[in-house]
């Protein structure tokens, strides 16, 4: 599969390397041509501009911060029409009581991305774990919640989740993205506090009493 990645940060490096290893044709595009070239060489991908990455991919990973989406994505929107557009962002910042959403009272980050790229098929994915998890062996067997509205884009996301060794967990349409983003604020905050979120949940066979 041809995959374009917008951004050259840690998530781009972690997921891009796994997808290259799975045999996909990955092109990294970033605002810094030098950073894109350095990352592409390191993981065995190709480098280009943001526009080239958007045009290259059958699937496109948006790996820029949520705050940058409004600047980066709209000029690329014509090249993204009809494509699976994966959103791994976490719109969270430290607050007085813990991590909080920067989107509180407004659209979810995934919804804002969909508005910035009309005609693209946004899927929320890969946002619950840090780049270091996706880069290493601990991604194996992890469940990855996915939400999106387009069946074909969701099927693409399922493939890309499986190709990093993880398990796709569809949780509904894109209108569920805000719930996933709020979950990330709680779960990541617990990790920062040294707590284990997994201890909150019973095994499925025990979940109904």
**In the predicted structure, residue 76 carries a pLDDT above the cut 70:** yes
The residue assigned the tokens 């009309």 is: 118
Is the pLDDT at 94 greater than 80? The verdict is: no
d(CA 30, CA 37): 9
Q: Which tokens hold the place of 16?
A: 């891009």
Helix (H) or strand (E) holding 173: none
For the chain, domains (ranges, CATH) are 2-206 (3.40.50.720)
From CA 205, how far away is CA 78, in angstroms rounded? Answer: 46
pTM, two decimal places: 0.92
User: What is the pairing mode between strands 84-87 and 59-62?
Assistant: parallel
Give the pLDDT confidence score for residue 209 in this predicted structure.
Answer: 67
Asked if residues 181 and 112 have their Cβ atoms less than 8 Å apart, the reply is no
Per-residue pLDDT tens over the stretch 10-59: 999 999 999 999 999 999 999 999 999 999 999 999 999 999 999 998 99
pLDDT band at 65 (very low <50, low <70, confident <90, very high): confident
Pseudo-torsion of CA 8, 187, 141, 3, nearest 10°? -20
Q: How much is the average pLDDT of 54-75? A: 93
Angle between helices 177-192 and 109-116 (to 10 degrees): 130
CA distance 180 to 81: 24
User: What's the pLDDT at 132?
Assistant: 92
Contact 80, 123 (CB under 8 A): no
Return phi, psi of residue 126, to 5°.
Answer: 65, 20
Residue 177's CB is within 10 A of a number of other CB atoms, namely 29
């Amino acid at each position: 599969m041809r995959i374009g990645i917008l951004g050259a940060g840690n998530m781009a490096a972690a997921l891009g390397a796994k997808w290259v290893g799975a045999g996909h044709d990955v092109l990294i595009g970033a605002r810094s041509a030098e950073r894109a070239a350095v990352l592409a060489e390191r993981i065995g991908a190709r480098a280009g501009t943001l526009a080239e990455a958007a045009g290259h991919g059958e699937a496109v990973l948006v790996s820029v911060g949520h705050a940058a989406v409004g600047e980066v994505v709209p000029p690329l929107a014509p090249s993204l029409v009809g494509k699976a557009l994966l959103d791994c962002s976490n719109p969270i910042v430290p607050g007085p009581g813990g991590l909080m959403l920067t989107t509180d009272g407004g659209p979810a980050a995934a919804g804002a991305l969909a508005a910035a790229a009309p005609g693209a098929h946004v899927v929320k994915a890969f946002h619950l774990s840090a780049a270091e998890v996706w880069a290493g062996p601990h991604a194996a067997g992890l469940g990855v919640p996915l939400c999106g509205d387009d069946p074909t884009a969701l099927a693409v996301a399922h493939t890309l989740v499986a190709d990093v060794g993880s398990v796709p967990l569809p949780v509904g349409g894109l209108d569920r993205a805000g719930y996933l983003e709020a979950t990330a604020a709680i779960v990541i905050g617990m990790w920062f506090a040294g707590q284990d979120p997994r201890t909150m949940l019973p095994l499925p066979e025990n979940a109904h009493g």
